[in-house]
Structure 1
Amino acid sequence: MKSVIVKAPLRCELIDVPIPEPGPDEVLVRVVCCASNPRDWKAPDHLLPGVEINQGNEMSGFVESVGRNVFEFRKGDRVAAAHPMQTANGTYAEFATAPANTCFLLPPQISFEEGCTIPFAGCTAALGLYQRLKIPFPTSPDNAALQPPLIVYGGSSALGCFTLKLAKLGRFKKVIAVCGSGRAYVESLGVVTHFVDYRKGNVVDDLKAALDGEKCFHAVDAINDGKSWRQLSEILELDGSISVYLPRLDYSSIPSSIYVGITFFGTVHGQPTPGWDRRCEEDVDFAYVLFRLFGKWLSEGKMSGHPYTVLPNGLASVEDGLRQLKEGLVSARKLIYRVADTPGL
């Protein structure tokens, strides 16, 4: 089968490899669509230099086979799934594996294109909101209680948008989104009460104006550019919490009284968070429950995928997609690839 290896400096190589076998708790998926995330170029570029593997983590397609411990899925099922980071058999390929706890059935009305935009960003957003910030989960009785204001920095990113979609399942006094050119889509979600445009250069003052005297204890930093979390720390109460998403960064500029919840997608697959001594073993079962709810919420119209652009030439376009992400040319959209569009397949 064909598989894409991502290298540094950024370049991709389409190679031939054997079709993988699923592990005991895995499904093997015949990939129809796969999606790119910013980490896919950042990992070989500077996060884990020298590691050259298939960096894909999101996919949709048909179950081809299942491991001996898997009982919920069977050959031919339409699914979307997340592949463990930095492991073999990634999703930029004709076939890829995924643990059953991060796989869900696609409702009939949801396309493969939409489905593959959900697993990685949707799960990471949920980890940040519920597991790190301790916002009541939608199934909790406490979810009916009115929550203090929530700030989402980077509201038009995939991670930010899924955080806002999940916030719509709860109740907040205010939901404040910091974003720029992607505002139109964010506004269409119908949950944001106040917008702050970071391009105006007055983020802290504008956030204070949006809060209008309300205390804020919870913030999601979906950008993690250094400036973003410093600005949020000026707004949060001293006993507040902030969810961040790049574990290898130095967050020492955030006051020590503010809880910094490092949200690392790998914890749902039992991977330790780099540079953080906290064990998050509960995230494995959390993901199992969440992914079953993703299918239910999609079927009920409570959840939707992210806007996307399909690049031509399937797997042969992965390098172009990652380059667009690296150069900051993508806003409020996911880049996806239809495997069948790959020349020569």
Structure 2
Amino acid sequence: MKAIKIQPGGKAAVVDAPLPRLRPDYVLVKTVAVALNPVDWKHIGFVPGTEGCTAGSDFAGVVRKVGAKVTTLKPGDRVAGWTHGGNINNREDGSFADYVVAKEGIMLKIPERGVFRSGLDVIATCSPNNFSMVQSLGADAVFDYKSSTVGEDIRKLTHNRLYHVFDCVSTDESARICADALSNDVVERKPIYSAVLYCTFPRDDVQVNVTVAHTIFGESFTKPELGPENFPANAEDYEFGKKFWKLSEKLLTEGMFQVHRPDIRSGGLEGVLEGLDELMRGKVSGKKLVYTLAAGGKTGAVKT
């Protein structure tokens, strides 16, 4: 099969690779399409020690084989899910390949349609040209993240009562915006700031959390970019992950999901490399790059 493997020097290439081994609680999926995330090119360009790892996180496809301990899936099921791409502990994990191994419970069966809405009041930041799109996805208020007063403007809108922020960017600049937006009234309760990477948060009266989503696989792993410590297997997070994906499948079936506009492209794994390069250069906005996979093709590399 073909797979995108991380190469030395912050590059990636489409190469020949053996089928990933089927672990007892995993399924083997024939990949039909993959979607791209910023973390995928960051695994290639910034994370040390990932040479030889398969890149990619999101996938959709058809189950071909199931592991000995799998009870909820069978060959022929259409599924979509998430993998631990760039995993230095299991280098064959990752979705940018003709075949994917994916853990039972961390995926959903594909129904006919999907839309999502949240029961929370959601405030989002984005570029002004994406305001209407983000509002159509369910955001109650949208702000320009490049505005010098965006944090203060959010605090004013929320009457100094914003206590939860999830920072998907997690840079020092985005942390500053979140610090300005979160309530400074900490008598009743302490505001919570959650990031996906370690960054400098400029307030000491806020609870700071770093969310490492890969704990939902319930397996130990190492993230060199987050320090030398090993993340131990977390059975509680795996149980939560299974509940999350089961609920997601239910909501998807009921038509309760709404998603970023997909930009569906052909080009197979070579096209994925081009898309990763676009993501890295900041050329993708307001949409999700999705590539359908086809057999064959030449090798290529992400430009760095």
Q: TM-score range by the shorter chain?
A: 0.7 to 0.9
SS in structure 2 opposite 1:182?
helix
Task: Measure the CA separation in 2 of the matches of 1:254 and 1:52.
Answer: 37
Q: State the shift of 1:6 in Å.
A: 2.9
Question: Is 1:107 aligned with 2:61?
Answer: no
Query: Unpaired segments of 5 or more residues in structure 2?
Result: 299-304
* Cα separation, 2, equivalents of 1:231 and 1:305: 25
Please state whether the residue corresponding to 1:73 is helix, strand or coil: coil
Q: Does 1:262 align with 2:210?
A: yes
How far 1:334 sits from its partner (Å)? 1.4
Alpha-carbon distance, 1:21 to partner: 3.1
Q: When you count helix as a share of all residues, which structure comes out higher?
A: 1
CA drift of 1:50 comes to 5.3
Q: After the TM superposition, which of the residue ranges 269-278 and 21-30 deviates more from structure 2?
A: 269-278
SS at match of 1:101: coil
Q: How many residues align?
A: 282
Give 2:169's match in structure 1, choosing from 181, 198, 223. Answer: 223
Contact 1:4 1:92 in 2 (8 A): yes
Give the letter aligned to residue 205 of structure 1: E
Q: Residues 5 and 278 (structure 1 numbering): CA distance in 2 closer, same or farther, change over 3 Å?
A: closer
Question: Could you say which residue in structure 1 is the equivalent of 2:147?
Answer: 200
Aligned twin of 2:51: 51
Paired with 1:54 and 1:281, the residues of 2 have a C-alpha distance of: 25
Residue 187 of structure 1 is matched in structure 2 by 135
Q: How far apart, in 2, do the equivalents of 1:12 and 1:277 lie?
A: 25
Gaps of 5+ in 1: 115-164
Residues 221 and 244, structure 1, Cα contact 8 Å, conserved in 2: yes
5 Å-filtered alignment, 1:135-150, equals none
Deviations 1:251-302 (Å, cap 9, x if unpaired)? 3x33233111211111101346745899754211111011111111011111
1:181-219 Cα shifts (integer Å, max 9, x gaps): 322211112x322221123322123223322x2411111
SS of aligned partner of 1:107: coil
Identity of aligned residues (%): 28
For 2:179, the equivalent position in structure 1 comes to: 233
CA–CA separation in structure 2 for the residues paired with 1:284 and 1:325: 30
TM-score normalised by structure 2 residue count: 0.84
For residues 57 and 203 of structure 1, the distance between their equivalents in structure 2, rounded to whole angstroms, comes to 31
Q: Which residue of 1 aligns with 2:260?
A: 306
Displacement after TM superposition at 1:340 (Å): 2.1
> Residue 24 of structure 1: CA displacement?
0.3
**Alpha-carbon distance between aligned partners in 2 of 1:7 and 1:278, rounded to the nearest angstrom:** 24
Secondary structure in structure 1 of the residue aligned to 2:294: helix
Render the CA deviation track for 1:93-148: whole Å, top value 9, x for unaligned.
Answer: 111101002121101346xxx9xxxxxxxxxxxxxxxxxxxxxxxxxxxxxxxxxx
What TM-score does the superposition give when structure 1 sets the normalisation length?
A: 0.75
* Residue 19 to residue 52, structure 1, CA distance change in 2 (3 Å): closer
Give the 3-state SS of the residue equivalent to 1:200 in structure 2. Answer: coil
Amino acid at match of 2:165: A
Alignment match, 1:244: 195
Is the partner of 1:178 in helix, strand or coil? strand
2:3 is aligned to: 3
The equivalent position to 1:209 in structure 2, one of 156, 165, 174, is 156
Whether 1:340 and 2:304 are equivalent positions in the alignment is: no
1:83: how far off? 1.3
Within the alignment, does 1:294 sit opposite 2:294 as a pair? no
Q: Is the 8 A contact 1:29 1:63 kept in 2?
A: yes
Which residue of the partner structure matches residue 79 of structure 1? 79
Measure how far apart 1:9 and its partner are: 4.4
Worse-superposed segment, 318-327 or 271-280? 271-280
Letter in 2 for 1:228: S
Could you report, residue by residue, the CA deviation over 1:136-167 in whole angstroms, capped at 9, with x for unpaired residues?
xxxxxxxxxxxxxxxxxxxxxxxxxxxxx5xx
- Partner of 1:207, secondary structure, is helix
SS in structure 2 opposite 1:319? helix
